[in-house]
Structure 1
């Protein structure tokens, strides 16, 4: 089949996922997104609706093939895990909305995550909180990683790159010292996600997390044991034009229309715009 003219690309972008883009060359196409290895780190741009629909389709296809992985979500904080476990132990299990209302935090567009939770509930899968709560993150920023039991031996290059990414995502409105403290909290999240993957690796696990966490160079993968890393795949689900390449596999979707996050942030300093979560 001949390559379609460039003018057709916006129409195709709504229906297909691009694996690698270079100018107006011919992209490799795959539909649907396939989840393959037993441990999957599945990235996202948090507010991109097309990405969530694509990922939910891939997760449903994985379950249809007979896989029964744990579902780990950045959107649930780990201090909610006992509550989640109590709810999952009920017979019948609660619906997705009831679980979200009881254990879900603010700042997330939960309709994006409801299909994953519904599928997990329908198949009796473990649902695992994969994030560090805000209070714990603040303590890490004040006192360091060891204060809450995390590994404080962070390579300087990794911390510097995390801090640089945080400064960029905050549109240059943070000083370097603050960005480095926030980078420690990001490292705590990555370390905890790696623990979650290890704990559930035997049955298989799919982690839903922002693309910043899914990066193989400075994200969760850095903190995974080699044998676990060998059984995993980190998939960056990116918007077209995103320059990041530090993933085992990259999937591109059209960009979500959104206001300029930097303009929003300048009006609401010091808090980050939702789209700037990493």
Structure 2
């Protein structure tokens, strides 16, 4: 026989509001020790689990989770003073069950789910569970086709001027014009796609196919990289050798000034590509 159908008078007293008030007053006396020692406390919790089982299942919870919410409400001083203690407990259990369900859907704590500004959001869901494609879900996920993008403008004149001056420097110091232009423009193109000058330098240093395509010996290729991009070394980071001629030209230094840099000129001249190489 179900325990709720017992005829025991002691277990039946708390089923009405006044009986619950009397029992709670006794359980909470002496600092609440009655909750641990009074046999009727266990009967009350079993009754609460049975009473709120349907409400708990409605929100996807276990009946004993609803009983735990009822326990918290019963310990509140306001419940003792209420005109109908069971009404207070029932409402508290209902609110807690709703918050528990929303917390599970929102992937947050129950405390957060009780807040209106949080509970107003819809439940978290996987994009793969939706019938429509991700791009149809929200405009923020859409991108225009590549051919619809506006044409990119030409590089700024300052950049073009710096590239031309760099080519002129190598030409004046003995490089063949076509070879100098092809190599400098290739370096600048790779630099535009790199995250930093140092990474561009390391990538180009190992680019054997480009060196073969441009027909430049390794010694001359490394010297050109060192001159254009600067020395990839923290010790030279803030020196003229570390900046490279491209950066120096971009910040306003003139070609004539570069030609007066003896170390730069000597490095380029000493590593010129020879006719037999």
Q: TM-score, normalised by structure 2?
A: 0.19
Structure with greater helix percent: 2
Larger RCO of the pair (alpha carbons < 8 Å, separation 6+) = 1
Q: TM-score, normalised by structure 1?
A: 0.19
Structure with greater strand percent: 1
